[in-house]
């Protein structure tokens, strides 16, 4: 009888034992511990990075940063914006609170364009019937000739203006490397002459009549 009782108690204990099916997973009620990655963390500390926008960029809507967590997983955070930008200038990413540091990495073209915006109109071309002056994104055409038509062409991006009159010269060309209006071409045709203004990027434009010519404002 004693042997039977021992076997019965042992069997009962086997059925009531709360053993874990997989010892590598936590049991009920235990909290999972954050798993860290063995990946090397010896990365260069972020100082400053720059993003250059394409020439057609005009408004920044959102900035998103993707980062890697301690456990190696990827995550991202975004900030909503609605601000106009000048694509000539880069956008910087930095972990510095200093607001007094000066940007030293602009190329010569970007610097000259910034300076143009603060300066007076600069002469780009002068002919007997037509003179062109620029200031930032504005271009003045001083002439008494009547404009027949104007339109925009791409590859390269350029504004075409036709004026009702013949010119004394057959062809004129001038490069302006440090200007938004980087090349001026003028050609004489039968009954009219054509002015082609090659731009340094993608723009729309507005044309207004002045008392002594026209003004083009790039957008």
Whether residues 136 and 203 fall in one domain: yes
Whether residues 81 and 161 fall in one domain: no
Whether residues 164 and 211 fall in one domain: yes
Give the pair of three-digit tokens for residue 89.
Answer: 């200038």
Whether residues 67 and 127 fall in one domain: no
Nearest-angstrom CA–CA distance, 153 and 115: 28
CATH value at residue 152: 2.60.40.3500
* pLDDT, position 53: 93
Whether residues 155 and 81 fall in one domain: no
Nearest-angstrom CA–CA distance, 56 and 85: 10
The residue among 106, 139, 155 that closes a domain is 106
Whether residues 153 and 176 fall in one domain: yes
In a domain, 85, yes or no: yes
Whether residues 140 and 154 fall in one domain: yes
* pLDDT, position 43: 83
**Distance separating the N- and C-terminal Cα atoms of the chain:** 102
Enter the DSSP assignment of 190. T
In a domain, 191, yes or no: yes
- DSSP 3-state of 101: coil
For 71, residues 6+ apart whose C-beta sits below 8 A from its C-beta are: 34, 35, 36, 37
In a domain, 116, yes or no: yes
In a domain, 35, yes or no: no
Residue numbers of the domain that contains 152: 112-218
The residue among 66, 90, 106 that closes a domain is 106
pLDDT by residue for the chain (219 residues), tens only, comes to 665 665 666 665 555 555 555 555 555 555 554 555 566 667 888 888 999 999 999 999 999 999 999 888 999 999 999 999 999 999 998 887 664 444 554 555 555 554 555 458 899 999 999 999 999 999 999 999 999 999 999 999 999 999 998 888 889 999 998 899 999 999 999 889 999 999 999 999 999 999 999 999 999
pTM, two decimal places: 0.65
* pLDDT, position 101: 47
Whether residues 95 and 150 fall in one domain: no
In a domain, 185, yes or no: yes
Residue 87 burial (10 A CB sphere; 0-12, 13-18, 19+): middle
Whether residues 156 and 207 fall in one domain: yes
Whether residues 146 and 166 fall in one domain: yes
Whether residues 212 and 123 fall in one domain: yes
* pLDDT, position 13: 59
User: What is the rounded (10 degree) CA torsion for 174, 176, 179, 180?
Assistant: 50
């Amino acid at each position: 009888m004693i042997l039977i009782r021992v076997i019965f108690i042992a069997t009962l204990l086997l059925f009531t034992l709360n053993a874990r099916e997989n010892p590598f997973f936590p049991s009920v009620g235990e909290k999972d511990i954050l798993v860290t990655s063995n990946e090397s963390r010896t990365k260069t500390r972020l100082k400053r990075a720059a993003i250059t926008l394409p020439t057609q960029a005009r408004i920044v809507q959102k900035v998103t940063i993707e980062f890697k967590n301690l456990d190696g997983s990827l995550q991202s955070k975004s900030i909503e914006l609605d601000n106009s930008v000048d694509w000539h200038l880069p956008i910087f990413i930095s972990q510095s609170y200093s607001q007094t540091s000066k940007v030293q990495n602009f190329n010569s073209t970007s610097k000259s364009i910034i300076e143009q915006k603060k300066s007076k109109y600069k002469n780009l071309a002068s002919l007997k019937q037509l003179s062109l002056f620029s200031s930032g994104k504005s271009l003045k055409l001083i002439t008494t000739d009547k404009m027949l038509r104007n339109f925009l062409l791409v590859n390269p991006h350029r504004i075409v203006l036709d004026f009702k009159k013949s010119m004394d010269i057959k062809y004129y060309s001038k490069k302006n490397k440090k200007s938004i209006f980087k090349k001026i071409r003028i050609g004489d045709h039968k009954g009219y002459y054509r002015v082609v203004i090659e731009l340094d990027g993608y723009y729309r434009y507005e044309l207004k009549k002045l008392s002594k010519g026209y003004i083009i404002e790039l957008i």
